[in-house]
């Protein structure tokens, strides 16, 4: 089984928004989130990363600026987080209080689910497929993707052959790196939430 690529998936540093649903809201890194990237920066500087692909969101672009990789990042629109629509900025408890039935449909992994006034799961998963296709096509053998928790969870599922509705089984921490080795026969999880201080 030949290794074709090693993917580094870095979730942006913390924004200080706490346990709120932040997708399309374009927040900055918090000072704590910026400082907490030191461990991931040190890890990635030793990995011979040969391409940097970044979500267009400010929190991701600011994360790249803190890594000290001396490599220009390519902004990739498909790497942005899912748009939670009217759930943006709310906590899970607040969402349950107003949209309990929709939360149940989301939890059941309904194929036609769409966040109210936001993005559909089908559209989001289409973006994940587009990212996988892009990764296959890129000549880079050790690309770094600076992106969001939801994107990383779903890429993990796609690369490891796991159903997308199982994506919440992965806890993806802010400012931490996940590593997937892509082989001819599929993906292998080589590291999760690496780069803590």
Of all residues in the chain, what percent carry a pLDDT higher than 70? 98
| pLDDT cut 90: percent of the chain above it | 84
94 as an active site residue: the answer is no
pLDDT of 186 reads: 86
What pLDDT does residue 3 have?
64
In the chain, alpha helices (H)? 31-35, 38-45, 58-67, 92-107, 121-137, 149-160
Q: Return the CATH number at 163.
A: 3.40.50.1240
Q: In the Cβ-directed half-sphere of 13, how many Cα atoms lie within 13 Å?
A: 24
The active-site residue, picked from 81, 119, 148, 154, is 81
- pLDDT recorded at residue 107: 82
In total, how many domains does the chain have? 1
Of these residues, 12, 119, 148, 154, which one is catalytic? Answer: 12
Residue, of 185 and 11, whose pLDDT is higher? 11
Instruction: Lowest mean pLDDT of 47-51, 145-149, 162-166, name the range.
Output: 162-166
Closest-CA residue to 75 (of 99, 55, 103): 55
Please report which helix (H) or strand (E) contains residue 191, including its range. strand 186-194
**pLDDT at 87 exceeding the cut of 80:** yes
pLDDT band at 106 (very low <50, low <70, confident <90, very high): confident
Report whether pLDDT(146) > 70. yes
96-114 average pLDDT score: 88
Range of the domain at 78: 3-194
pLDDT (tens digit, 9 = 90+) per residue, 34-53? 999 999 999 999 999 999 99
Is a pLDDT exceeding 90 seen at residue 165? no
Residue 2: band (very low, low, confident or very high) from pLDDT cuts 50, 70, 90: low
Place of tokens 């349950």: 96
Identify the band that residue 197 occupies on the pLDDT scale cut at 50, 70 and 90. low
Average confidence score pLDDT of the chain: 94
Q: What is the CA radius of gyration of the chain?
A: 16
Please say if 81 is a catalytic residue: yes
């Amino acid at each position: 089984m030949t290794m074709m690529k090693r993917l580094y998936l870095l979730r942006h540093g913390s924004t200080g928004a706490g346990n709120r649903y932040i997708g399309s809201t374009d927040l900055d890194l918090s000072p704590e989130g910026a400082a907490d990237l030191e461990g991931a920066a040190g890890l990635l500087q030793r990995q011979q990363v040969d391409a940097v692909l970044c979500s267009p969101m400010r929190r991701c672009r600011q994360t790249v600026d803190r890594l000290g990789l001396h490599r220009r990042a390519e902004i990739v629109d498909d790497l942005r987080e899912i748009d939670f629509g009217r759930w943006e900025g709310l906590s899970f408890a607040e969402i349950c209080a107003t949209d309990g039935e929709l939360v149940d449909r989301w939890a059941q992994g309904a194929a036609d689910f769409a966040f109210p006034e936001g993005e559909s799961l089908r559209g989001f998963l289409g973006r994940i497929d587009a990212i996988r296709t892009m990764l296959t096509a890129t000549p880079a053998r050790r690309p770094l993707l600076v992106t969001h928790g939801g994107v990383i969870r779903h890429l993990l599922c796609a690369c490891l052959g796991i159903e997308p509705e199982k994506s919440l089984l992965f806890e993806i921490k802010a400012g931490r790196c996940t590593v997937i080795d892509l082989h001819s026969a599929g993906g292998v999880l080589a590291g999760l939430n690496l780069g803590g201080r």
